[in-house]
Amino acid sequence: MPVLRVVVLWHQHQPFYKDLVTGDYRLPWVRLHALKDYYGMVKLLDEFPQVHQTFNLVPSLITQIQDYVAGTANDPFLQVAAKSAQELTPEERRFILQYLFQANPVHMIGRYPRYKELWELFRGAGDSPERADKYFHPQDFTDLQVLSQIAWFDEFFLDDKNIAALIKKGRGYSLEDQKFVIRQEKDLLAKVLPAHAEAAKRGGIEISTSPFYHPILPLVCDTNAGGASTPGLPLPQNRFRHPEDAREQLIRGLDLHQKVFGVRPQGVWPSEGSVSEEVLAIAQSVGVKWMATDEGVLGRSLGLHFGRDGGGRLPADLAEKLYTPYRFQNGQTEMNLIFRDHTISDLIGFVYSGMPAQDGANHLIHNIKQAAQPILERGRDAMVPIILDGENAWEYYPQSGREFLRRFYDGLDKDPGIEAVTVSELMARHKDPPTFSSLVPGSWIHANFNVWIGAPEDNRSWDYLYHARNFYAQAAPQATEAQRKLAFEEILIAEGSDWNWWYGPEHHSANDREFDELYRKHLSNVYQALGATPPDYLAQPIIGGIARPFFAPQTAYIHPRITGDMVRYFEWMGAAAYCADQRAGAMHGKQFLLDSVYAGIDEQNVYGRLDFVGKVPAMDFDLVVNLEARAPDSKSHPALRLDVSARQGKLASWKVVEESRAEDKGEKKELASDRAPGEAKVALLRNFEFKVPLAWLLAAPSPGKGPEDGLATPRLRLRFSFWHDRLPVDALPLEGWMDLPLVEESELLAQS
């Protein structure tokens, strides 16, 4: 009798949230998903020993779990959840209100009445931590700190009598309850990796791996793969091509897996199912036996479209093409491959959560059997591959989807015509798979790479990575081994797919800003590790779509005295103003040190003023002001850079240099400094102020072109950034530049 083999591969992954320089975790999702999903997903299979599955554990996830278990993870989110509510600072209270409600409101928050009550109180304040703070009392914070953690506990952990008693208590939690929950977290996290190892040793699961930091391997090999997959796709200005990095990411993943689980993995789920012929060749060369991707990649490679009927079923000829393993053969390259059923996999991810558990399980089993039926009827074995995210979907299911999975596995177990196997078991049973020799590069999303390359934000991030990688290649030979190791590790982290997942128009989350900041921090760390200052552009977000702060244009010439000692309102009246929007900031994420900036011109000079949040920071720091004159129809844009060094909050030194253009290979020319100020002036006391002659920018006010020709008006643009330990901490404007039209005062007055 022909056999229907079902292959289920759960991809377990979280981005690398740790800043290697500071040691801080910028987001808590590794800890929370390790508490909620990873253990129970494997443990559930103890009830169904004949149901074999594949779990893909991304190496960077494994290392972060190990960090938490060892007690060496510095997680500000955990620290604030553990702190006595009576001792919370105002910033910590707002941090708690911003982040501890980031959970599914129905199945996680709504499961606990008191948690829901607090969430509704927060919602009633307009989701504003600042406004909600005055309504939350210490007991409210303690209850929130406890319940926001329990909401992420795995279903198996909730059966513990002590945790069950805490849940039954419902409200009015104590500091001792808080401490108990935090202690439990470490104990529960310690169960995750051993549970996988034990299940693999019994033969119930196969553990596969991914390239270490989850990069899109074809793009790391060559960003031109984006254009090969989507002809005409806009690509980065600079071609990133480092197949040696792709190889290193794979080898590191294989090595860590062997170290943790004691065996070399046979298979690899390439990040986001991203494959190319170059990637297959590299994988084979390092000992990988199988890889997996999406049906769309197979369809494009074979010149087919896997179109389904109204019931989601493929015609017999297409079913026969999809529901079998393959072997890619081209020259010296051979690789076993399976291609996920996109439709069935997505039903688990997006549909069955809205159905009763038994109904969803029955529908899934029926779909699997219907899909394979045309092949089985011809007397041939068939396999249906289901591959999807093994963590995020369960937030949308009651009880983390455990009852749905339990009934699904029970259906697989009891059906004599179905065999649930691992990928390696499948390959062992299909001795002579069909072969093909040409692979169109692509991923499991639309069989291309457009999520990670092509949009302006994506391409900018690749260009920044290109420059950091090139800097590493130039500077590493002169660095120490420790410096090289840290810098290269940061390069590999920055190659991860997750940063670009949030860039571009496709995906957004409540943590877009944090992802953007962390990506730029990893790139900044490359330069810092090698003893250099990161480029200025890393001080500004790549990401767009962030709420715009207040901006007012210049309305009149200004002539302020440069003292830095006090704000003289009338002297700055008419200046352009840019005020920071701090609502999206986090206490342990983005540091807001700059409150507002003011700038304007007169007939001869450009003036700037920076006001800090509170007092001038009493630390060593640097300020950078970039100025650039832009004339219509001119390819050359004269630019200046004002560098200011402060020690313990006091002005130590400054200089103005003429920035070299891309085509200028000469040294930067110093125009002024604290030793020879000339016509420039700089002051830092209660705020920061400067004056620079427009002539140094080869600029002067000219008659305006009128509002209808605004784009043709010569302009001056500038931005401020704050640096600490050679890393960008804050900037204004956060996005782009502050524009000043280089026009006569009469034109400014006419437009105001």
User: Is the model's pLDDT at 213 over the cut of 80?
Assistant: yes
- Token pair belonging to 411: 């259906």
Between 662 and 447, name the one with better pLDDT.
447
Query: pLDDT digit string (tens) for 453-489?
Result: 999 999 999 999 999 999 999 999 999 999 999 999 9
Lowest mean pLDDT among 161-175, 470-484, 574-588: 574-588
Q: Quick check: is 372 in a domain?
A: yes
CATH code at 480?
A: 1.20.1430.10
Query: pLDDT digit string (tens) for 237-280?
Result: 999 999 999 999 999 999 999 999 999 999 999 999 999 999 99
Burial class (CB in 10 A: 0-12, 13-18, 19+), 405: buried
CB 100 within 8 A of CB 143: no
- Token pair belonging to 336: 């076993």
C-alpha–C-alpha distance, residues 312 and 435, integer Å = 26
Q: Residue 707's pLDDT is what? A: 36
C-alpha–C-alpha distance, residues 686 and 567, integer Å = 8
Q: Residue 223's pLDDT is what? A: 98
Question: Could you give the 3-state DSSP secondary structure of residue 20?
Answer: coil
Among 436, 471, 490, the domain boundary falls at: 436
One-letter amino acid for residue 362 of the chain: N
Between 583 and 749, name the one with better pLDDT.
749
* Confidence bin at 21 (pLDDT 50/70/90): confident
- Which residues contact residue 59 at a Cβ distance below 8 angstroms, ignoring those fewer than 6 apart? 209, 210, 211, 212, 213, 252, 253, 256, 257
Q: Quick check: is 87 in a domain?
A: yes
Q: Residue 583's pLDDT is what? A: 41
User: Is the model's pLDDT at 674 over the cut of 70?
Assistant: yes
Rounded to two decimals, the pTM is 0.81
Domain containing residue 702: 550-751
CATH code at 680?
A: 2.60.40
Q: Quick check: is 624 in a domain?
A: yes
* Confidence bin at 586 (pLDDT 50/70/90): very low
37-43: average pLDDT: 96
CB 53 within 8 A of CB 390: no
Give 163-170 contacts, CB < 8 A, sequence gap 24+: 167/112, 170/112, 170/113, 170/114
Query: pLDDT digit string (tens) for 637-660?
Result: 789 999 999 999 999 999 999 986
C-alpha–C-alpha distance, residues 16 and 185, integer Å = 20
Partners of residue 337 on adjacent β-strands: 291, 326
User: Is the model's pLDDT at 197 over the cut of 60?
Assistant: yes
- 610 and 519 share one domain: no
- 373 and 423 share one domain: yes
Q: Residue 568's pLDDT is what? A: 67
* Confidence bin at 117 (pLDDT 50/70/90): very high
Among 504, 539, 574, the domain boundary falls at: 539
Residue 704 CA, distance from chain mean position: 44
- 184 and 282 share one domain: no
394-413: average pLDDT: 96
* Confidence bin at 667 (pLDDT 50/70/90): low
One-letter amino acid for residue 532 of the chain: A
525-545: average pLDDT: 92
Q: Quick check: is 237 in a domain?
A: no
Between 739 and 200, name the one with better pLDDT.
200
Between 285 and 589, name the one with better pLDDT.
285
Q: Quick check: is 152 in a domain?
A: yes
Q: Residue 545's pLDDT is what? A: 60
E-only strand ranges, 312-456: 326-330, 333-340, 382-389, 418-421, 435-436
Between 668 and 122, name the one with better pLDDT.
122
**What is the torsional sign of CA 414, 419, 423, 428?**
positive
683-700: average pLDDT: 91
Query: pLDDT digit string (tens) for 291-326?
Result: 999 999 999 999 999 999 877 899 999 999 999 999
User: Is the model's pLDDT at 145 over the cut of 50?
Assistant: yes
45-47-49 Cα angle (round to 5): 65
- Which residues contact residue 313 at a Cβ distance below 8 angstroms, ignoring those fewer than 6 apart? 319, 370, 371
Q: Quick check: is 446 in a domain?
A: no
Q: Residue 751's pLDDT is what? A: 64
User: Is the model's pLDDT at 702 over the cut of 90?
Assistant: no
- 563 and 522 share one domain: no
- 688 and 579 share one domain: yes
- Edge-to-edge strands, sheet with 326-330: 267-268, 290-294, 333-340, 326-330, 435-436
- 81 and 109 share one domain: yes
- How many other CB atoms are there within 10 angstroms of residue 477's CB atom? 7
Residue 455 CA, distance from chain mean position: 16
698-712: average pLDDT: 57
- 732 and 591 share one domain: yes
Query: pLDDT digit string (tens) for 47-87?
Result: 999 999 999 999 999 999 999 999 999 999 999 999 999 99
User: Is the model's pLDDT at 600 over the cut of 80?
Assistant: yes
Q: Quick check: is 198 in a domain?
A: no
Between 571 and 231, name the one with better pLDDT.
231
CATH code at 9?
A: 3.20.110.20
User: Is the model's pLDDT at 114 over the cut of 70?
Assistant: yes
Q: Quick check: is 24 in a domain?
A: no
C-alpha–C-alpha distance, residues 744 and 601, integer Å = 10
Between 513 and 428, name the one with better pLDDT.
428
Among 436, 468, 499, the domain boundary falls at: 436
- 655 and 695 share one domain: yes
- 9 and 101 share one domain: no
- 343 and 413 share one domain: yes
- 479 and 595 share one domain: no
CA distance to 328, 351, 529, per residue, from 486 (Å): 37, 43, 6
User: For residue 122, which phi and psi values (nearest 5 degrees)?
Assistant: -65, -45
If we measure between CA atoms, which residue out of 186, 203, 193 comes closest to residue 71?
A: 186
Residue 579 CA, distance from chain mean position: 27
Q: How many CA atoms lie within 13 A of 566 on its CB side?
A: 3
C-alpha–C-alpha distance, residues 247 and 259, integer Å = 18
Q: Residue 550's pLDDT is what? A: 65
- Token pair belonging to 54: 């594949």
* Confidence bin at 589 (pLDDT 50/70/90): very low
- Token pair belonging to 237: 């200005």
Q: Residue 581's pLDDT is what? A: 63
- 416 and 501 share one domain: no
CB 464 within 8 A of CB 315: no
N-to-C CA span, the chain: 84
Torsion of CA 297, 303, 306, 309, to 10 degrees: 160
Query: pLDDT digit string (tens) for 706-749?
Result: 433 334 578 898 999 999 877 677 888 866 688 898 888 888 87
Count of structural domains within the chain = 4
What is the pLDDT of the chain when averaged over all its residues?
91
